[in-house]
Amino acid sequence: MKSKYSIFCMFLLRGFIFLGTVFSLNSAELRLKDIARIEGVRENQITGYGIVVGLPGTGDSKTPFTSESMKNYLKNLGVEANLKPDQTRNIASVLITATIPTYSRKGDKLNVVVSSIGDAKSLEGGVLLQSPLKTAGDKTYAVASGVISFGGRQEQERGSSSRGNKKR
């Protein structure tokens, strides 16, 4: 009787050891964050419209919505201006997009992408005026403003220059 009981205990012990080994190997390969998502937690896309000023003659030319936007902006500041579409070479209308990361907090800074929607040749050297960034539900989540900067390095070769993200 004792021998049958000892054999049973040996098999049971080996089974537990085997199962423990299998489960410990699998737990190292599978993380909960890889297979589960918390409901309602995700990145949020925000967008806005803005005006870039201070461009060295590379802004929009004869774009009516740029001159109208600038007139309205100045009017909100209490300044009456009569801009014509052909007087906008130093300003450009832009769309601004950004992504609010998951778990970001109030006051965190975001990187934004600024894209010309007129016929501006370049936004380099310009300053984005304060622009609200909203979700699809029209709620303002952020405000963007500041100097336009380009990533990457600048390269110059005998009279020509280029800017961009280049790998060597």
- pLDDT score recorded for residue 38: 67
Q: Is residue 105's pLDDT more than 70? A: yes
- pLDDT score recorded for residue 65: 87
Q: Kindly state the tokens that stand for 68.
A: 């109208």
Same domain, 122 and 49: yes
CA–CA gap between residue 120 and residue 75 (Å, rounded)? 23
- 57 falls within a domain: yes
In DSSP notation, 28-87 reads HH--HHHH---TT---EEEEEEEEEE--SS-S-SS-HHHHHHHHHHHHHTT------GGG
Q: Is residue 44's pLDDT more than 80? A: yes
112-168, pLDDT tens digit by residue?
A: 999 999 999 999 999 999 999 998 888 999 999 999 987 755 554 444 444 443 333
Tell me the residue range of the domain where 108 lies: 44-150
- 124 falls within a domain: yes
- pLDDT score recorded for residue 1: 57
17-38, pLDDT tens digit by residue?
A: 776 666 665 555 667 667 776 6
- 156 falls within a domain: no
Same domain, 129 and 61: yes
Same domain, 14 and 62: no
Question: Is 15 in a helix, a strand, or coil?
Answer: helix
Same domain, 70 and 27: no
- pLDDT score recorded for residue 124: 92
CA–CA gap between residue 22 and residue 11 (Å, rounded)? 16
- pLDDT score recorded for residue 132: 94
More confident residue, 36 or 45: 45
- 158 falls within a domain: no
Question: What's the pTM?
Answer: 0.66
Question: Is 19 in a helix, a strand, or coil?
Answer: helix
More confident residue, 123 or 1: 123
Same domain, 125 and 72: yes
- 166 falls within a domain: no
- 75 falls within a domain: yes
CA–CA gap between residue 144 and residue 76 (Å, rounded)? 18
The answer to whether 59 and 92 have CB atoms below 8 angstroms apart is yes
Same domain, 62 and 108: yes
- 164 falls within a domain: no
The domain total for the chain is 2
CA–CA gap between residue 28 and residue 36 (Å, rounded)? 16
Same domain, 98 and 31: no
Same domain, 29 and 84: no
